[in-house]
Amino acid sequence: MLDTLQKVFGFQEFRSNQEAIIKNIIDKRDVFAVMPTGGGKSLCYQLPAKILKGTVVVISPLISLMKDQVDAVLENGITAAFINSSIGKKEMAAVFNKLRSHLLELLYIAPERFAMQDFIETLKEIPIALFAIDEAHCISEWGHDFRPDYLSLSNITKTFPGVPVAAFTATATTKVQNDIITKLSLRSPFLVRASFNRPNLFYQVKRKNELLSQILEFLRAHPGESGIIYRTTRDDVSYLADTLSRHGIKALPYHAGLTQKARKANQESFSRDEASVIAATIAFGMGIDKSNVRFVIHADMPKNIEGYYQETGRAGRDGAPANCIFFFSRGDIPRLRYFIDQISDDKERAIAMEKLNQTVRYASHNVCRRRQLLEYFGETYGNENCGACDICGDIVERIDVTIDAQILMSAISRTGQRFGIGHVIDIVTGVNTKRIRNLEHDKIKTYGAGSHKNKNHWSFIVNELLAQDVIYQDGDRYPVLKLSEKGRKILFGKEKISALKREETKRSIATKPHLSPIMRPFLKGSAPSERDWLMSSRCPRI
């Protein structure tokens, strides 16, 4: 293995996890590996292609990358080819002739090819060394990029029982991981979950204001650097690329509305540093095999955390520092909700909506971006300050929410920490329900203390307190809110808590005049200091 690594690929040593994965593949064991973008997944099936007898079949949806990968392995002396919609009949026939003649060590195919019975029959006639499935999350309905074409891959282990299967993905929660293993019927696979931490990436969320001006300001501060800018629609991509070009920045578009020839030419120009910026749609997957991408900008809201993480992972693959900027506006939410509403399957639609809400929470909370990303994928980040995000770098605009936090926590405490989010918010906003009256929660001191603000605001405060571990949910089916030790310190005025400043909405402006009797005396003049509030009889203290 090491001899092949050095002589064929020119590397002196394996990266983390590569050696163990390759060893298990050579031993004909199934493998499931979660490795971040740039972690060296391709070597894990390319090296076995040189060692094992037979053809390694790689299944990937990234058609745009297949030719580049084939060209690269051909230079390393590996006989390889690809079959997808980009090649003509004559070229495809030549590949099949090589395949039937046992002349291919490595074959790349698109997932829909595996659904064709005649192709399966062809594979049955030749020795197959390994099936490598890239972007394996596409087979899971819980994954961020579910593709029905991938479902046909569930037949691999039945049709080719003696051939090992290795599934790779850069983004998979443990739930998605288990679903992939089940759908592919992997047989006691060797499991790898590499760290999702990319310490060289700087994560930042900026409030979207004058977007074009904000992008131009960033690009002018980073002249000549290579980067990717993601937008939601084709029109937005084309407009952005044209605008940047008019301002002297070499930018090219990439989306499904372009011809295959144009997409290929634009991607190659970017890869060769002939264009410094490529603008692309989020929905149209673009494989980028380029190590010196210095920034990734999400000019519109990503649909989910998995996609966001994978797309930001295209930055800094050379290990040098890189910027990941997310321009956030709640105005983007209705557009994404429109697309989600078009999903016909109720379960898929609910999953997509929850994933969107998770993205909003990521952008909204005053919590280390890195910690949020890692925790999403089930990884614990031990440091208090990552030193490489806008939250930890203290370059965000914060507001003090200590009083609102105390109002909520007082309601939680005064009701015995036995109720869920909805009921606590009803108490705080002074909702007159039969349940509240029967429980006599309309008589506690905190009832109606937050009626001067709408429920959306209090939901935001609850989510912020949960994110900052000030409160926590206990119980699975009917979770109730409870105070943490940190929360008790804030409730009793020993600590403060801040949140990221939110966008002002018309609804919240309209509700300002409707103040609760508790807050009205304080808001006639200047806002009280926290000490005055805490010392007053109106403070919702225990």
**493-529 per-residue burial string, b: 16 or more CB within 10 A, e: under 16:** beeebbbbebeeeeeeeebeeebbebbeebeeeeebe
Instruction: Domain ranges for the chain, please list them.
Output: 2-193, 201-376, 398-535
CB contact set of 392 (below 8 Å; sequence gap of 6+)? 368, 370, 385, 386
Those residues of the chain that have pLDDT short of 70 are 283-288, 503-542
CA distance 362 to 337: 17
pLDDT of residue 433: 92
State the architecture of 201-376 in CATH terms: 3-Layer(aba) Sandwich (3.40)
CB contact set of 469 (below 8 Å; sequence gap of 6+)? 484, 486
Q: Note whether 192 and 250 are within 8 A (CB).
A: no
DSSP SS3 for 102: coil
Q: Domain 398-535 is in which class? A: mainly alpha
pLDDT of residue 478: 83
pLDDT of residue 348: 85
Q: Note whether 279 and 252 are within 8 A (CB).
A: yes
Tell me the two tokens of residue 495: 């600590």
pLDDT of residue 148: 81
DSSP SS3 for 128: strand
* 2-193 and 201-376 agree in CATH topology: yes
pLDDT of residue 82: 92
Radius of gyration of the chain (CA): 27
Name which of 272, 325, 267 is nearest 295 in CA terms: 325
Tell me the two tokens of residue 242: 């044209």
Tokens 């949960």 belong to which residue? 466
pLDDT of residue 520: 34
Name which of 387, 15, 384, 39 is nearest 201 in CA terms: 387
Identify the sign of the CA torsion 279, 285, 289, 294.
Answer: positive
Amino acid at 243: T
**Which long-range contacts does 505-508 make (Cβ < 8 Å, 24+ apart)?**
505/330, 505/456, 507/454, 507/456, 508/453, 508/454, 508/456, 508/457
Domain 2-193, what fold?
Answer: Rossmann fold (3.40.50)
Distances (CA, A) of 339 to 232, 239, 303: 11, 21, 10
- 191, β-bridge pairs: 32
* Sequential DSSP letters for 177-243: HHHHHHHTT--SPEEEE-----TTEEEEEEE-SSHHHHHHHHHHHSTT-EEEEEESSHHHHHHHHHH
pLDDT of residue 53: 93
pLDDT of residue 503: 62
pLDDT of residue 164: 96
